[in-house]
Structure 1
Amino acid sequence: MRSLGKIDHIHIRVSDSARATDWYSRVLGLSPDARYRHMQDGPHGVIMMANPSGTVRLAISQEDGAGAISGAIAFVVNGQDFLEWIDQLAGERVLNSEGQTIARDSVRDQSFFCSLSFVDPFGNPFEIVSYDHTWLSGKLKLAKRAPV
């Protein structure tokens, strides 16, 4: 039976990522997680910050005029549940942020995890994440990413 595992991370949009990184580090005791360093590059770079045990993760991204939480809530599941969530969301005709119905080709290969982003009827963003990357890559026939 499909079930959500736990919250994987929460996206936080900020107007100054350096100042935010400092604040989350100083005030909340979070630090950048080196495993996600590859996600910092590009126009929509993300700094994944975590507590020492890795049980709390915030994905910090810089965006002009940002200030309130307006990002996605991400849930982590195992590989089999990830496949079932794709089918469930597709069956319910759930849309992604571009207005396209979720399907197996909606899965994003993030190098060591897979993600599926979607919105609720009000436009609130959510994400299902699975770290069963190798298994899912085979099941979904994901194309290998070029090294960065």
Structure 2
Amino acid sequence: MKQNSFRMGRLDHVHIRVPNRDIAAQWYSDYLGFEVVKKYDFWAKGFSGGPLQISADGGNTMLALFEASEGHPLAPQLTGVAFSVDSDTFISFSRSLPNGIESPAGQQLKANDIVDFDLCWVYNFVDPWGNHFELNCYEYKQIKQDLIAADNLTPVRYWPSELIDEYQK
């Protein structure tokens, strides 16, 4: 196997198709705290078909909103885009639910929709155009104490909790 000295850099942006970039940018701002990245605004304003770059972390990681068109149909991101936040942000998000964000099943996302992955906590949701997202928090013990126990939540589990004990032996 060939050794390669090249290493991929950080995740820059993810392409998201929406019917209208401005309406989508407003939704992402209202519900998830994204802002237009002014530095790249010329791509959206300078020519037809360019992306509107938005970010919730000052432009380090972005969503590139592309308007669906005849040559580029609306194709929702079904595999999901995952974002990671600290425990305070995660708890704040959870306690804001339900707030108009939907689960992938098409119902209002609720605090009890939280998923326990044994090493992190996750909320799965979709934007109004069917693009799938995850909100992750890896401060596991903090969330278990300050959110799960404090708010008496019953997390969703995809596998038995005993598997993590076996794995960590």
Q: Name the structure, 1 or 2, with higher relative contact order (CA <8 Å, separation 6+).
A: 1
From the two aligned structures, give the one with the greater strand fraction.
1
